[in-house]
Amino acid sequence: MGEPPPTCGVEDGDKSPTRWIRTARFGARRRAGLATVWSVIRRRAPSTDTSAQRSLTDADGSDDDRWAAVCERRRSADGSFVYSVKSTGVFCRPSCPSRRARRENVAFHSGPKAAIERGFRPCLRCDPLDEGRPHPRADAMAEIARYIREHADEPLALEALARRAGLSPFHFQRTFKAVVGVTPKQLQSAERAQRFKRALREGSSVLDATLDAGYGSTSRAYESRDAAGAMRPSDYQKRGRGERVRYAVSESAVGLVLMAATERGVCSVLLGESEEALIAELNEEFSEADVRRSTADADALAPWMRALQAHLAREASRPELPLDLRGTAFQLRVWRFLAQIPEGETRTYSQLADAIGAPSSVRAAAAACAANRHAVLIPCHRVLRGDGSLAGYRWGVERKRALIDAERSPKQR
């Protein structure tokens, strides 16, 4: 009788019959265990009509819409379909947090039973068979979420929150996000931002709103709002759809200035020589919004405009106004750094790229400066070429020179 072939896990020097028997027994136990697991899976799968549980086609709706739901991990789509991944043999719910599969490997099914009958097994991360059963720690996480909202203006360490929940910090973070949908830090930041905006709408000063919301400084408040305002270019293409934009135009030391604002803050500051041209530029940027000239009884726009005029006349420092910044995450990083350049100082585009941690993105940093729509409030005029020359400026090189020269001169008393 010939020797049995080597099996996985058997070293070349270990060919004893006892080792072969142990390996065979392990394989039998493994096959029996898998059969048990699949029997449990089939019992847990929803017992709806099998004829209704099938692979979906475009006749049942748009595969593009379902793929978009998967890419966005849209929780609202859970329960309407599942998707399978051919390369891994698993099926998932649309909100599954696992790494996104290639589109050509993905198929859509109307429910778990349809996916199982085609040989796919359920994902262990999102558990698509667990429909409607609440998370075992849902009540505890809801209580922590309420605590975070009530104490958003206080420092909340992850370790302290984890102790309240009786979990390790790592386990608490994962459980909280699975139940609530965001991390504890994200929830606290969102609550602070809401308090900040609410205080501004109620007439509080920027400083009072900052302190009431729990920010240590106004720069922290703007940094948080900027991060929340980051958007994809496709979002900006909506051109302010459904928003209300009010604007005012006034004379200043550098020509005409147009200031526009939404309910979030100043969304645009434009400089020029023609009022018609400035209004046309604003309408182009917010072509889908309700754009109207501000009336005399406007709450915030008039004092904001006066503060900007005083700064341009060298009678006051650059005003710290709430800004409605709209751009990519990279652009927001650039604009945040620009706002930190001290008055009277300049930086080169290379220094700017280094400062935001992207030394090889000099051209992208320059493009972000050119995309700035908040003249003076986001002082992109303080960035020069490496040789010290002025380079371009959205509102004219001569105006850029005038702004730099004015900032280097003493303020009027």
The pLDDT assigned to 381 comes to 93
The pLDDT assigned to 348 comes to 92
Indicate if the pLDDT at residue 121 is higher than 50. yes
Length of the chain: 413
Same CATH fold assignment for domains 50-122 and 230-413? no
The pLDDT assigned to 256 comes to 93
* pLDDT confidence tier of residue 229, bands split at 50, 70 and 90: very low
Measured from the Cβ of residue 186, the count of other Cβ atoms closer than 10 Å reads 16
pLDDT, tens digit (0-9, with 9 covering 90-100), for 323-364 = 888 877 778 889 989 998 988 899 999 899 888 888 878 888
Higher pLDDT, 250 or 49: 250
Question: Region 174-202: what's the mean pLDDT?
Answer: 77
Higher pLDDT, 176 or 39: 176
The pLDDT assigned to 69 comes to 85
- Domain 230-413, what fold? Arc Repressor Mutant, subunit A (1.10.10)
281: left (phi over 0), alpha (psi -120 to 50) or beta: alpha
Structure tokens at 116: 């199982």
- Domain 50-122, what fold? DNA Methylphosphotriester Repair Domain (3.40.10)
Indicate if the pLDDT at residue 270 is higher than 80. yes
Closest to 404 in 3D by CA, of 324, 321, 314:
314
Which pairing describes strands 383-384 and 347-348: parallel, antiparallel, or unpaired?
A: parallel
The pLDDT mean for the chain works out to 77
pLDDT, tens digit (0-9, with 9 covering 90-100), for 27-79 = 555 444 544 445 544 544 444 443 333 444 433 457 888 888 888 887 767 88
Domain boundaries, the chain: 50-122, 137-229, 230-413
DSSP letter assigned to residue 6: P
Catalytic, 8? Answer: no
Higher pLDDT, 228 or 136: 136
Sign of CA dihedral 139, 141, 142, 144: positive
SS (HEC) of 41-81: HHHHCCCCCHHHCCECCHHHCCHHHHHHHHHCCCHHHECCE
Higher pLDDT, 340 or 220: 340
- Domain 137-229, what fold? Arc Repressor Mutant, subunit A (1.10.10)
Residues 279 and 359: their CA atoms lie apart, in Å, by 37
Catalytic, 126? Answer: no
Indicate if the pLDDT at residue 107 is higher than 90. yes
pTM to 2 decimals? 0.46
The pLDDT assigned to 15 comes to 47
Closest to 255 in 3D by CA, of 278, 270, 271, 279:
271
The pLDDT assigned to 237 comes to 45
For the chain, the C-alpha Rg in angstroms (whole number) is 30
Question: Region 110-115: what's the mean pLDDT?
Answer: 87
89: left (phi over 0), alpha (psi -120 to 50) or beta: left
For the stretch 256-260, contacts whose Cβ atoms lie closer than 8 Å and that sit 24 or more positions apart, written own/partner, are: 257/305, 257/308, 257/309, 257/312, 257/375, 258/282, 259/301, 259/304, 259/305, 259/308, 260/286, 260/291
* Residue in 92, 96, 267, 369 annotated catalytic: 92
Residues 48 and 198: their CA atoms lie apart, in Å, by 48
* pLDDT confidence tier of residue 160, bands split at 50, 70 and 90: very high
Residues 281 and 272: their CA atoms lie apart, in Å, by 10
The pLDDT assigned to 219 comes to 53
Q: Are 224 and 189 in contact (CB under 8 A)?
A: yes
pLDDT, tens digit (0-9, with 9 covering 90-100), for 73-85 = 877 678 888 999 9
Residues 6+ apart with CB under 8 A from 235: none
Label residue 136 exposed, middle or buried (CB < 10 Å: 0-12, 13-18, 19+).
exposed
Indicate if the pLDDT at residue 230 is higher than 50. no
Residues 179 and 172: their CA atoms lie apart, in Å, by 11
Which pairing describes strands 121-122 and 90-92: parallel, antiparallel, or unpaired?
A: parallel
